[in-house]
């Protein structure tokens, strides 16, 4: 029998506006066109979300060649290299672009800063699909990627007069700040993007987890191992003094974690659906356990649906009129 007396649910947690938009884009595309709909890369990095959409007729692919010519294809929330858009046009697929608008912002910054003669340094995880898309915006620019302070020391870019850093949207705020400080120390002339690239949802969820970690002994982060922002939440909780685990769902819980623990905090990555959080709460909240919302910052951001879906709806409405 565990000793938990209280569960604190971090707010904000779970789906961000970009994820909600992307998932709904796949659902709406299936509703309009019927199955199958092909999704290039996992629409978001959560195994439960991907599996649920698969049951409805969404087929995840990694290469556009896996989709027949003329098929309906949704590009994932993480963004895609420019070459993939060219390939989609060549294969005459019906493309629905569900890239998060905040990721698109970084793609546009790459174009603008290169046009203005800047050398760009990209702060991000090497090989992450979001970074691949950003760096693929202008591949000939060969933009260097740094993950750590040590990576800054290893940069071989000379000392360009016009220099800017851009970042992956799902990074650890604290770790990224250390990398930025190292860049500023080595390159005093380096400038930041006009608005911070780490997205509001990543920032808000990390801020909430920092506060949660201060008042709980154990923090559970609901999310898949492939989710960068979920992993950063777990690391943030640990950095602020709590024992923390990343759990894909209720089946990942270990009873030993709760021995001697009175207060448990729960949050969820930006791609984790709320029902997974509630499953865990129900599992832990035996009689007498108090469940409270731990509200750090209200979140009201919403994004409009992809432009392609707006156009399709307009066509359908026009034909029905």
H-helix or E-strand spanning residue 201: helix 200-215
Q: How far apart are CA 64 and CA 26, in angstroms?
A: 16
Per DSSP bridges, beta strands 72-75 and 119-123 are unpaired
H-helix or E-strand spanning residue 243: strand 243-247
Q: How far apart are CA 83 and CA 270, in angstroms?
A: 27
| Catalytic member of 42, 66, 109, 130 | 130
Q: Is 130 a catalytic residue?
A: yes
**What DSSP line would sit under 85-154, residue for residue?**
HHHHHHTT-EEEE---HHHHHHHHHHHHHHHTT-EEEEES-TT-HHHHHHHTTSGGG---EE-SHHHHHT
Q: How far apart are CA 79 and CA 98, in angstroms?
A: 8
Burial class (CB in 10 A: 0-12, 13-18, 19+), 278: middle
- C-alpha gyration radius of the chain: 21
The set of residues, in sequence order, having a beta carbon less than 8 Å from that of 302 and lying 6+ positions away, is: 17, 20
Number of C-beta neighbours around residue 285 at 10 A: 16
- Residues written for the chain: 321
DSSP 223: S
Catalytic residues: 130
């Amino acid at each position: 029998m565990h000793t938990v007396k209280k569960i604190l649910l971090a707010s904000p947690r779970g789906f961000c506006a970009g994820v909600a938009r992307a998932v709904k884009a796949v659902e709406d595309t299936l509703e309009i066109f019927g199955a199958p709909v092909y999704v290039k890369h996992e629409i978001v990095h959560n195994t439960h979300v991907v599996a649920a959409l698969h049951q409805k007729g969404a087929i995840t692919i990694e290469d556009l060649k896996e989709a027949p010519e003329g098929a309906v294809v949704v590009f994932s929330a993480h963004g895609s290299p420019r070459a993939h858009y060219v390939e989609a046009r060549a294969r005459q697929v019906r493309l629905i672009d569900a890239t998060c608008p905040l990721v698109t912002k970084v793609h546009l910054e790459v174009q603008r800063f290169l046009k203005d003669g800047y050398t760009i340094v990209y702060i991000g995880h090497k090989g992450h699909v979001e970074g691949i898309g950003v760096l693929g915006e202008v591949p000939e620019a060969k933009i260097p990627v740094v993950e750590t302070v040590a990576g800054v020391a290893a940069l071989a870019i000379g000392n360009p007069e016009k220099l800017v850093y851009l970042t992956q949207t799902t990074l650890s705020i604290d770790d990224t700040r250390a990398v930025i400080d190292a860049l500023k120390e080595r390159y005093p002339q380096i400038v930041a993007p006009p608005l911070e690239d780490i997205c509001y949802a990543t920032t808000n969820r990390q801020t909430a987890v920092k506060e949660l970690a201060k008042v709980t002994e154990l923090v559970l982060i609901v999310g898949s191992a492939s989710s960068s922002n979920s992993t950063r939440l777990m690391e943030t909780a640990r950095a602020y003094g709590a024992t923390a685990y990343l759990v894909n769902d209720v089946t990942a819980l270990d009873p030993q974690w709760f021995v001697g623990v009175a207060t448990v905090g729960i949050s969820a990555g930006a791609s984790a659906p709320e029902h997974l959080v509630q499953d865990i709460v129900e599992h832990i909240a035996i009689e007498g356990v108090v469940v409270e919302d731990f509200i750090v910052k209200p979140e009201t951001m919403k994004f409009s649906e992809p432009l392609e879906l707006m156009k399709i709806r307009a066509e359908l409405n026009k034909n029905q009129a």
